[in-house]
Structure 1
Amino acid sequence: MTKSELRLFLEEKVIQYNNPQFLETDPIQIPHLFTTKEDIEISAFLTATIAWGNRKSIINNSHKLMHLMGQSPHDFVLNHTINDLENLAGFVHRTFNDIDLTYFILSLKNIYLNHNGLEGIFTTHQEKDSLQPTISKFKKIFFELPYEQRTTKHVSDPLKGSAAKRINMFLRWMVRDSSTNVDFGLWKNISPAILSCPLDVHSGNVARKLRLLKRKQNDSKALAELDYNLRKLDPLDPVKYDFALFGLGVFEKF
């Protein structure tokens, strides 16, 4: 397949999967329940945090999490009481449990009160060509309160070798334009050109079959290689191809 043929093939798959029907089976449906910016951001961040494993389980547990927060995640983050935090007891998604969730709520409160919110951190600390160093900086800020060591594994650090799939997915949701009613386009001061593809087993396997990726591990080096090749296909919006790679892998078993 030539470069032009590959681009055309992927563009067709982007159109096929970057549409509202995609929401029916994807965790991005959770932030679509909300209308205010902060509710969308917080629900998206928490949903992305637990977005690994069975997709149905991810969606069900994300709905449960929103219910625990009274369907008002921003208000819950800012105004929760000790009793509200105690009511989180028993929440679990795989290895993410109520200890982790409680810290996440406390840290998000700190971020919205003292760091101009999630958008403020990523916008202020963004670099010219990539958000991967910004994610590392975000993790440092996220854990500036007292925390239990077990919780740190739920926020990835690209500078320590992680592909940071879940945070990159969250950033795609926040930054890419909302013209197809899938992503939100809320963060106007970050360019889609510097987003990175949420690299997981599905997108990684498809990328290798299409010769967009040679590295075998799904780590930060593989992500840099995939970013480089996707940006050659579309330097302005390379992460739109996430829809193609993921759709081909999950729905078409490519």
Structure 2
Amino acid sequence: MGTSAALPGPSGEIWTSAWRAGRRWARSPEKPDEFGEECLRSLRAALKTNPDAFGLLRATTHGGIELVDALDGLRRAGLASLVDLETVEAEQRPARFVQAFTDRVAGDAARVGEFAVRRSVVDCAEALLTQPDIRRRVQTADSGPEPLISDETFCRIYTLFFGQVVAEFLGSLLMAKVALVASLPLGPFALLVGWVVRRVTAGILSPCEVQGEFGRQGESITEVARELVTQTAREAFGLGVEESVAVAT
């Protein structure tokens, strides 16, 4: 989740209820729902008031587009589309894969929102490595042209990215500060962050769902995902639908 001390936390009246809920959570950390909901509600209100707040929405949208392109490369051309691991020591290859994927999608981070995106991409890269076949090909530096990921994996990582951005932002800048002040162990904090990820991703339509439910089987999963990114970013922050690309097409 990174360090919360290096970045300024959310402040102002919009966030008052979230900070208060955090103090209550610290007394009953096994119940993350109220604090999680208040954090999401405050973030939604902050972005409605100022869409440029923290550079978060812009960074998430840009990161989502880059993520789609990186996943498309892995889906179509395998590991060779991202990094050459043949000259890397075997035990260092998974870490090099994570670094290459993160640099490809997120680049350097300068603003608060960009830090959240970069940490989310690290989580996504590590999630890819939990799949045995992907990890095997990374560890053996298998750069053959066979696709490294399936459409199903593409959609799972796509959805995870947006949930993790929200969780990384709230976790690093607000939740971690509450946990630190209350001297809470890692367990309750991880439970809270996991709750946020599940809560956010539950409200997101994945490209696979859109492709199947809106008669877009003739398009590639990458084409569908690219059109969805802007709307998915808004949905992740609870900003609602401006114009549904999925339904309109």
| TM-score, normalised with respect to structure 2 | 0.26
Name whichever structure is richer in helix by fraction: 2
Q: Which has the larger radius of gyration?
A: 2
| TM-score, normalised with respect to structure 1 | 0.26
Highest relative contact order (Cα 8 Å, sep 6+), 1 or 2?
2
